[in-house]
A and B are shown apart, each in its own frame.
Chain A
Amino acid sequence: MNMRLSYGMGFILLFVPCSLLVAFTHYPAFKALLNSFWNNGSSIRPSRFVGARNYEALLEDDKLMQVLSNSFIYAIGTVPLAIALAIGMALLVNSRLPATGLMRLSFFLPTMLPMVAVANIWLFFYAPGIGLASQILNAFGLPSINFLGSTDTSLVSMMVVAVWKEAGLFMIFYLAALQSIPTNLKDAARLEGAGSVRIFFDVVMPLLRPTTIFVAVNALINAFRLVDHIVVMTRGGPNNSSSLLLYYIYEVTFGFRDFAYGATLTVLMVVILGFMAAIQFWVLNRKAHYQ
Chain B
Amino acid sequence: MIYTRNLKKLYKSREVETMALINVNIDIDEGEFVAVAGPAGSGKSSLFNILGLLDTPDSGEVFFMGKECSRLSQNKRISLRRGNIGYMFKDFNLVDELSVYNNIELPLLYMPYSRKDRQKMVSEILYKFKLDHKRNNYPEELTRLQQQTVGLARATVYNPKLILADEPAGSLDSTGGGMIFELISSVNEAGTTVIFFTNSISEAQRASRIIRLFDGHIVTEAIQKEI
Are A and B associated in one complex?
Answer: no
Q: What residues make up the interface of A, taking CB atoms closer than 8 Å to B?
A: none
**Which B residues form the contact surface with A (CB < 8 A)?**
none
